[in-house]
Structure 1
Amino acid sequence: MKMSKNTQLYVLTGFLGSGKTTVLLKMLQNLTGKKIGVIQNEFGKLSIDGTILRNDDLQMVEINRGSIFCSCLKLNFVQALAEMAEQDFDYLFVESSGWGDPSNVRELLDAAKVASGKEYDFKGVICFVDTVNFLEQVKDEETAYRQLKHCNLAVLTKIDVADAKQIEQVKEKVREINPVCEILESALGDMDYDFMKKDLLIYQWAESEETTNSVDTKPKSIFLEYEGEVGKKELGDFLKEIAKDVYRVKGFCKLKDTGWNQVDVVGSIIDYKEAETFEKSQLVFISKIGPMIIKKIMENWQKYVGTEMKLKN
């Protein structure tokens, strides 16, 4: 049984900090007038990306605290797909966690079809590849490898801050892992959207397999809260010290002089953008070193910032 509007479904993957939310925002702006749904999967407890995406014209379901492809959350994901199928969207975008391994996405779509009795027009998996950091990420992280292996389209992001040699090396690595997927480039979230007119499913390289996401492989995430304001330099020094021990830091902070900012840390790059007002400042940390990150955060916050703050799981 086909859905009355034949909802087109795209699954967006990409390692932590690859720019999925930035590009999705631009994609949504190019689909004005369409009825759109988003299933937004955040690894941490706080929904940072969901806050960025949320608007009155968008219907969104948020699934947090893990990967939608993991046994710990896949039933929630299947249920969300089944419920969203009733809405007759023109488009449904699934933005998975940066830690999400989509190797089993077909299995989950089949389960949603059984649960709802309706079928999506599945358009493919788009993997966002951080041109600046990918070559280091894929050396150590199987998730980054799996995301690319199981995609139909690879989008090289941040080409505006990468040099020509980096871009060429990343393209070569993409082709080594996935010889058939389409490859596009994106700068500042902009890209060519003609792919939405194509059948991306013809660019299928890998067969479905069991995901590597599990409770045992799930990295530690923790979030920090503070009230009042802190200096941008002091916060920056703190984040530089923490950056080597985390996959990602993101959140919203109130800074002296500049007010509320969206803060994003990937590798050695710390990015600040003007943001709306929040009740309190909050940062999410996804740890490379497990629970030891708690001690690192506490010691370095005291060293560089010095104001009162709280840590929560």
Structure 2
Amino acid sequence: MTKIILVTGFLGSGKTTFMKSLLDAYQDKKVGVIVNEFGEANVDAITLEKEGIIIEELTNGSIFCACIKDNFLHSLILLSEKDLEYVFIEASGLSDPSNIGQILETIKPRTVKPYFYKGAICIVDADSFLDLYDTLLALERQIQYSGAVIVNKADLVDQETIDETIEKIRLFNNNVPIYVTSYCVVDIQKIVENLIDTDETPRETSNTIDSRPKTFTLKSDTTLSYDNLVKFLNAISESTFRIKGFLETDKGQVLVDAVGNNVDIKPWDKKVDEHELVVISSVGMRIISLLTNQLDKHFNDQLYLV
């Protein structure tokens, strides 16, 4: 049987960092990966590219939502034909995984090699969890349906915040093993082997077309001013859950990775086909006027909404 491990966690919690470590830990195994992002561009799939690993990319919605669930089913069926030992699934940050059991039951008659659902690992951002946990049902469901929780970014907060974060996690899942760390540095194989069974009672997912956060794509066909990019990101970041993508600047190609006000821009030397940013709004459609004003102010159509 092919073992499925689901990796969940809110936007910017460290899922992709964990996925890289997961792939390194299982590099001697035959592995497939499904990467899911809300926006049109799948930045995580690019950063996870690794020789010999089969990666299925699913964009523009949650794999647990009707909007792209059929594509998710198709990817699982396709990977079942590859005689894999593991399939690792990185869900989008706003995914509600409470219908994973129903999904796997649905595809059972159509899979070549059967799947065994090993469980879910939820990555929690210690720096933002207490601000978000009681406002987003998807975040609560991610913890409820996890067999292990990793409290990441512990270096950014004090012990009192960590203790309170653990206390809140226990409200949603009292028995789950909790690992506190930074940069997702953990004993991955130990975590995988000690995943606990979770409540698999079928529920209607909270991921619906109506509940999807407003997501926008910005594209560029030219070289941008790095300094103007920094000013632009600082101006809009407070109104976003997440900004992520690749751009060409006068200081070279960069990977933009922002979570709320925490903006990170780092060099990226691998080839990228499209230079674009995915922006996930935390203020709904109200962000459009902000985006338009700041794009006009800093880029004069060099970076534009599509």
Q: TM-score range by the shorter chain?
A: over 0.9
Which is further off, 279-288 or 46-55?
279-288
Structure 1 counterpart of 2:76, from 78, 81, 102: 81
Partners of 2:158 and 2:300 in 1: CA distance: 38
Matches within 5 A, 1:103-114: 103-114=98-109
TM-score, reference length from structure 2: 0.93
Q: Distance in 1 between matches of 2:200 and 2:117?
A: 16
Structure-2 residue corresponding to 1:41: 36
Q: Does 1:214 align with 2:203?
A: no
> Any conservation in 1 of the 2:295–2:304 contact (CA below 8 Å)?
no
Q: 1:176 to 1:253 in 2, by over 3 A?
A: same
CA contact 2:150–2:184 (8 Å) conserved in 1: no
Q: Shift in Å at residue 309 of structure 1?
A: 2.0
Query: Is the contact between residue 260 and residue 277 of structure 1 (CA under 8 Å) also seen in structure 2?
Result: no
- 2:193 counterpart residue number: 197
The answer for unaligned runs of 5 or more in structure 2 is none
SS of the residue corresponding to residue 133 of structure 2 reads: helix
The 1-side partners of 2:134 and 2:183 are apart by 25
Q: How many residue pairs are counted as aligned between the two chains?
A: 304
Which residues in structure 2 correspond to 1:113-192 (within 5 Å)?
A: 113-116=108-111, 118-192=113-187
Aligned to 1:265: 258
Structure 2 counterpart of 1:132, which letter?
D
- Per-residue deviation, 1:277: 3.9
Please state how far the C-alpha of 1:206 moved relative to its aligned partner: 6.3
Aligned 8 A contact 1:184 1:192 in 2? no
- Amino acid in the other structure paired with 1:266: V
TM-score with structure 1 length normalisation? Answer: 0.91
Instruction: Identify if the C-alpha distance between structure 1 residues 253 and 162 changes in structure 2 by more than 3 Å, giving closer, same or farther.
Output: farther
Tell whether the 8 Å contact from 1:178 to 1:205 is kept in structure 2 after alignment.
no
Per the alignment, residue 284 of structure 1 pairs with 278
CA displacement at 1:145 relative to structure 2 = 1.3
Unaligned runs of at least 5 residues, structure 1? 1-5
Alpha-carbon contact 2:5-2:118 (below 8 Å) kept: yes
Paired AA for residue 34 in structure 1: K
Calculate the aligned-residue CA RMSD, in Å: 1.8
Q: What is the Cα deviation at residue 229 of structure 1?
A: 3.0
> Cα offset for 1:279?
4.8
Identical-pair percentage: 33
Deviations 1:61-106 (A, max 9, x none): 1111101101122222122112211111121101111111001111
Structure 1 residues 91, 186: closer, same or farther in 2, change over 3 A?
farther
Partner SS, residue 110 of structure 2:
helix
- Residue aligning to 1:56: 51
Q: Distance between the aligned counterparts of 2:294 and 2:84, measured in 1?
A: 47
